[in-house]
Every structure is written in C-alpha cells, then in structure tokens.
Amino acid sequence: MPDVLTANDGHPVGRAPRQPLRRELNKWQIFMIVISTIIGVGFFTNSGEILSFAGPGTLLLAFGLLGAMACMVMEGISEMVVIWPIPNPMVEFVRHFVDRDLANVVCFAYWYTYAISFAAVITTAGDVVVSYWGDGTLAKVLVFILFPAVVFLVNFNSVSIFGWIEFVGGILKLIVIFFVFVTMIVINLGGLYITIDQAVPRLIIRMTGANNKPIHSKFIKDGFQYNEEVVNNRPTAIVLAIGNAVYPYIGIEAVTITAFEARNPRELKFPAKNIAYIVTLIYLFSVLGFALNVEWSCDKLTPYYQQAFTSKHGWPYSCHPGGDLSRRTLPNNVSTDTSGSTYSNNFTLPTIAVDQTQTSTKVPFSSIINVCLLYSALSTANSALFTASRALYGLGQSVQVDARRWRRPTRALAKLGETTTFGVPAWAIAASMAFAWVPLLSLDGGAQDTQQVLISIGSTSCVLVWASQSLAFVRYHRWLWRHRRRLVGPTYARYDRWERTDLSSWLGAWQPALAWASLVCCALVVLVFASAGLWNGQGNMRLKALNIYLGPFVLLVLFLLLKLLSWKRGWSERWVVLGDWEQLKNTLDTLNDMVLPDRARVRDDSDTDCEQADGNEFEMRIRREPEREPPKLELRHLDSERDESSGGKKT
C-alpha cells in the first residue's frame, strides 16, 4: 500500500503514487500525438457539411477565422505549459489563477470531451465502412468491438512504446493528408482518369483523358452561398459555418496533456508554440482542395441535421450525372427528398471528388482513400483515450495531495492517480473507456439522437475549456504585472514575461489582448454562432437546441452545485484573489513543486530552486543544503577582550 505522506506539522496530506508517469516523450512524439488527436475523419465530414449549406467561399473563411482563434488560445496556453510541465496543467492553471470549483468543472469537461470523442470516432469509422462498402450491421459491430480493443492494448504500453507508435502513426497520417491534397490538385487539373484495360487486366491512371476536363475554378467561383433549407441568407450561413468549423480544431490543446511526460521543458517548446499554426495551414490547404473539386450543391455531401438538399424550385441539387454514386447506399441513415432521390450523410469530400473521375465501378481508388480514413479514425481514437486517461490521472493526483479531501469517499478517485510499474495509469485508462458502448447506439435508429447529443456535449465543452485557459492567462498576466518589479533573481526572473526569452510564445508581446480576444470568441462561437441553425425555425429544433446548449447548461449546473457545497468555506477560499507578493510567490512555488512532485513532498529538508541551463532553458533543480551545526555561544569577559586588543592596556 502506498505510504501516507505527512506535512511538517505531522498531519497527513495524502498518499504517494506507486510509480509516477515516466518522462520519456521527445518533441516529435509529442507533436505526432497531438496531430493524431486533432486530425480525424470528423474533419472531412464536418467540412463537407459546411460546404453543403454555405458554399466554398464560406468554407475557406470559416476555417481561416477559427484557425486564427485557435492560435490565439494556444499563445497563452503554450507560454504557461512550457514554464510548468505538470500533470493536468489546464486544470491546475484554472485552480491557481481563477477558481478551485471552476477547475473541477474544467477537469470533468475535458475528460468527458475525449472520453466521448473516443466513442464518436469509432462510430464514424463504422459509418465509413457501411456507407462505402455496404456490408451492413455486421461490419459496424466488428468495428465497434475491434477498434476499442486495439486502442486499449496500445494505451496499456509504456509511454515510450506508445510515443513511438504515435510517432509512426502521425507520420502516416500526414502522408495521408498530403496524398489527399495532391489527389485534389490532380483532379482539378483534369487528371486522374482511372479505368481498367479489359484486354490486359491492369489499372490505368492518366493525368489527362476523355470525359475529364479540368475543373480549375469552376466550383470555387460559387463563393458565398446558402441553402435555404438551413439558413435564410448568406450572413447567417457565415455565422453558422464559423460555429461549426471550431470542432475540427478540438485537440490543439492536447499538447498540455503530454507535458508531464516530456523528457524536459525543451521538448515542449516546438509542439506547444507551433501546433496551432501548422494545423491551420493543413486545414486551409485541404479545404481549398475540396472546394476546388466538389460542387457545394452536391447531393452526397453531409447534410446539416438531415435538412434536404432541395432548391426553391423543387428539384434536388446534384453534382453527379446519372446516379454515379447510386451503387453505394446505406441500409441506415438514408433519406429521401421530395423527388424520391436518395442521399446518405456519410460520404466524405475526398471520396466524392475521386468518384467523379472514375469510369469504372471496379476501380478501388476511392476504397484506398476510405482505408486511409479508417486508419485516421483508429489513430484519433488512440490519442483520445490517451488524453482522457491523463486528465483523470491528474484528477487522482490532486485528490492524493489535498488534505481536506482525503476521506473515504474520495479514495476511489485517488486510485486514478496511481500507475503500474511501467508508469501506465491503468485505472484512469479503464475509466476513460466508460463510453465505449455509445457506438452501439447507432445500430438503433431511435437512439441515434441520444448518441448525437452525448457527442455534442463534449464538443461544446472543450471550447469552453479553451475559454477557461484564456481567462487563466488573463489573471496570470495581471498578477505578474502588479508585482513585476519583484520578478528578479535566479528563481523568479523567468516569470518576467516582459523580457523576451525562448520561453515566450510567438505573439507574446500582444498579450493579454490575444487572451481577451480568444475568451470572447470562444464564448461567442459556443453560445451565439452555433445557434444560427435555429434562427429560421426549420428542421429538428429540439435536437439542435440540445446539441448546442445542453453542454454549457450541464457545466453551469455542476459549477453552481460545487459552489453550493463549498459555501461554508467562504468565497475567498475558492475564488483566487490576486493578492500581495507573498501570495503570488507561494502560487508560483506551488506550481514549480508540481513539476517534480515526489521531490517537492520532502521540501522540509531541501530547497527548491530554478536554475538556468543550456542557454535560456530552465529546469528544476532540487538542491539539498548541508546540515549545519547550531552556532556555539562563547561568553568572554569584556575587560579581558579589551586587554587583548590593546596589548594589556585598558583603553
């Protein structure tokens, strides 16, 4: 059983974990873990949905604006996490700079986001299998069983093995993205004419060929459009597109979860400072390729809440002549418009673009793309489970070291902070698979709305977590500004963010304006922009409202409940007051101690200092002072001392 830790006054403060998480990840492993977390099948389906109701111009604008917002959010997060690579940093930043109860809400919201994302990605993978290969329910069930099993086994390895698996997986995912982008360019230039030579069985791929004329700017010239079944005008379509484009960016903050398992803070700098910019560029180039090759009125695009692709004249939109894709229909999730034409909501933009170039149904080129998308889903599910488990591990750690919460009901939570001999948080991984059953709801048509609501709660919750990080940085900046003249010496000079160092983010000089802007933008995106689909009063209004507002409502109720339970301790104990220098110094020291928690617990006989090493890099040093004997008191007569100093003469 873990030993009980005691403070200097002899009171128990918690229990030490059996084995801490191991610090073995390098910067490229961290970068690829975050890439795998962010880029998944959802990006392809989400971008298709936006294209279907807002047109290509709005698609590019929405992803560009949301990319800018993501970069602003990461500017503050990256600066703090490089200084403090601690377990569950986003929760601890809120706990130490904003409010303890809000930190608990953030912890729940962040864990739920990735626990349900794990289930959502597996659901999407099952839909891709059935929508394209049409193998029915059995194929879905196999995906729903095999994917979680594989992901669980991969996560149960040591973080070093997991890191290398994700490193290879991230490279493959980037290759897939590059392959898709090049394919879009070739298609746009009139190439990728695919057929099978009947005389000699072989696959023929030519850069030019019959029936394939260059598309160039034919489709993208449609610019800003709107589907009147979804919105009433172009401005509303832009607002709704911005509200929907945020979800593919969820995961950029996952670099914080890997912080405690990085070899040293130096390994965090590159992924933390650059991931948002790199992902934004990847998304912009990708959606540009989609907008160039798929007409916004295509009837195979993902519809917004199954609102039919019908024009005001009554005929269905279609970018395909004569039922090119009619060979692939869904046993479930198939809708019929007023003309009797069927369409499914699970075709992705790359497969639609490729299908338009093919003259033979036997050519497997689009199947290859779908295989790549399935791999992308598996990789994203793997990273989502990793992220969720580390969030729970951080919760377990905070319970272990909190004396006031160490009671019998919290021991179950404390176990989440324990690890195996290989440094794997086994209990946290198992608990993070709590929603592994959710994909099975897609087998029942009546339960699909429930599934969609559960997934939407996680999506909106994560954007609110971003807002909490922006608020934490605003208060962190304000507190430092009040005492900036005290930020001197080898220990505290590193927090002087007005002196440019390698720890600074790219746009650190623009803070806290960027943090304020990202805070406002996150709130607007979740609470206002996402609701634009309700403004015309059409479609499934109840489902839309639940998907948009249930997540924020649940988090608000949880926050108020925690405030109600803690009212006896007073507002000041929960809300962080930006006090004097001693309070700020204690907060900075506490966060510093969390970087090396095991050593920090024995600080009664050690001194924690932060020294400079390798240029401007800082690393924690635990320096034990040698034991000193108490000074001996020697009493000497004043007169004899005078005699000695004056050669025996009194002066």
Dihedral angle over CA of 512, 482, 105, 517, nearest 10: -10
Domain-embedded: residue 341: yes
Residues contacting residue 541 through CB under 8 Å, at least 6 positions apart: 534
Q: DSSP label at 303?
A: P
Residues contacting residue 543 through CB under 8 Å, at least 6 positions apart: 305, 449, 452, 453
Give me the CATH number covering residue 313.
Answer: 1.20.1740.10
Domain-embedded: residue 47: yes
CA distance 395 to 87: 9
Q: Highest-confidence range of 53-67, 217-231, 311-325, 365-379, by mean pLDDT?
A: 53-67
How far does CA 228 lie from the centroid of its chain? Answer: 33
Q: What are phi and psi of 446, to 5 degrees?
A: -75, -20
Give pLDDT tens digits for 392-441.
Answer: 888 887 776 554 445 655 677 778 888 888 888 888 999 999 888 888 88
Domain-embedded: residue 622: no
- Mean pLDDT, rounded, for 196-213: 50
Q: For residue 512, is the peptide bond before it cis, meaning its omega torsion is within 30 degrees of 0?
A: yes
Question: What is the rounded radius of gyration, in angstroms, for the C-alpha atoms of the chain?
Answer: 29
pTM tops 0.85, yes or no: no
Residues contacting residue 511 through CB under 8 Å, at least 6 positions apart: 75, 76, 79, 473, 477, 497
Q: In total, how many domains does the chain have? A: 1
Q: What is the pLDDT of residue 131?
A: 62
Q: What is the pLDDT of residue 6?
A: 45
Q: What is the pLDDT of residue 564?
A: 86
The answer on pLDDT for 647 being more than 80 is: no
- Mean pLDDT, rounded, for 288-314: 74
Average pLDDT of every residue of the chain:
76
Closest Cα partner for 537 from 303, 231, 237, 238? 231
Which tokens hold the place of 246?
């945020």
One-letter identity of residue 355 = D
Q: Are 308 and 334 in contact (CB under 8 A)?
A: no
Domain-embedded: residue 638: no
Q: What is the pLDDT of residue 589?
A: 92
Q: Are 170 and 36 in contact (CB under 8 A)?
A: yes
Closest Cα partner for 39 from 335, 261, 249, 290? 249
Q: What is the pLDDT of residue 361?
A: 44
Give pLDDT tens digits for 73-102.
Answer: 999 999 999 889 888 899 999 999 999 899
Q: Are 317 and 309 in contact (CB under 8 A)?
A: yes
Q: DSSP label at 19?
A: S
Domain holding 82, by residue range, is 4-568
CA distance 83 to 272: 11
- Mean pLDDT, rounded, for 287-312: 77
The answer on pLDDT for 2 being more than 80 is: no
- Mean pLDDT, rounded, for 150-163: 87
CA distance 238 to 59: 8
Band of residue 177 on the pLDDT scale cut at 50, 70, 90: confident
How far does CA 303 lie from the centroid of its chain? Answer: 25
Query: What secondary structure does DSSP assign to 174-223, as a single string?
Result: HHHHHHHHHHHHHHHTT--EEEEETTTTEEEEESSBTTB---TTTTGGG-
Range of lowest pLDDT (185-194, 317-326, 554-563, 624-633): 317-326
Report the chain's terminal Cα–Cα distance, integer Å: 72
One-letter identity of residue 20 = P
Q: DSSP label at 321?
A: S
- Mean pLDDT, rounded, for 600-611: 44
Question: What 3-state DSSP class applies to 460?
Answer: helix
One-letter identity of residue 209 = G
Residues contacting residue 134 through CB under 8 Å, at least 6 positions apart: 328, 329, 330, 331
Domain-embedded: residue 284: yes
Per cent of the chain over pLDDT 90 is 24
The answer on pLDDT for 473 being more than 80 is: yes
CA distance 206 to 49: 31
Looking at per-residue pLDDT, the higher value among 14 and 414 belongs to: 414
CA distance 597 to 86: 9
Q: Are 307 and 229 in contact (CB under 8 A)?
A: yes
Q: Are 380 and 40 in contact (CB under 8 A)?
A: yes
Which tokens hold the place of 452?
């969609």
The answer on pLDDT for 14 being more than 50 is: no
Instruction: Output the CA–CA distances (angstroms, integers) from residue 528 to 83, 427, 532, in the order listed.
Output: 34, 38, 7
Q: What is the pLDDT of residue 528?
A: 92
Which tokens hold the place of 58?
């709005």
Residues contacting residue 268 through CB under 8 Å, at least 6 positions apart: 27, 30, 81, 82, 85, 255, 258, 259, 262
Q: What is the pLDDT of residue 337?
A: 35
Length of the chain (residues): 651
Dihedral angle over CA of 215, 325, 285, 372, nearest 10: -140
Residues contacting residue 22 through CB under 8 Å, at least 6 positions apart: 158, 159, 160, 261, 422, 423
- Mean pLDDT, rounded, for 277-287: 94
- For 377, counting Cβ atoms within 10 Å of its Cβ (0-12 exposed, 13-18 middle, 19+ buried), the class is buried
Query: What secondary structure does DSSP assign to 532-592, as a single string?
Result: GGGTT--S-HHHHHHHHHHHHHHHHHHHHHHHHHTGGG-HHHHBPP---HHHHHHHHHHHH
Domain-embedded: residue 649: no
14 torsion bin: left (phi>0), alpha (psi -120 to 50), beta (else): left
CA distance 306 to 540: 9
CA distance 585 to 587: 5
Domain-embedded: residue 627: no
The answer on pLDDT for 163 being more than 90 is: no
Range of lowest pLDDT (308-312, 349-353, 425-429, 565-569): 308-312
The answer on pLDDT for 285 being more than 70 is: yes
Give pLDDT tens digits for 211-259.
Answer: 567 788 888 888 899 888 888 899 999 999 999 999 899 989 999 888 8
- Mean pLDDT, rounded, for 312-325: 38
Range of lowest pLDDT (47-51, 262-266, 400-404): 400-404
Residues contacting residue 545 through CB under 8 Å, at least 6 positions apart: 534
Domain-embedded: residue 518: yes
- Composition of the chain by helix, strand, coil, percent to 5: 60, 5, 30
Q: What's the 3-state SS for 340-361? A: CCEEECCCCHHHHHHHCCECCC
Question: Cβ atoms within 10 A of the Cβ of 272, count?
Answer: 30
Give the helix ranges, DSSP H, for 401-492.
411-415, 426-431, 448-482, 489-492
Which tokens hold the place of 650?
């009194």
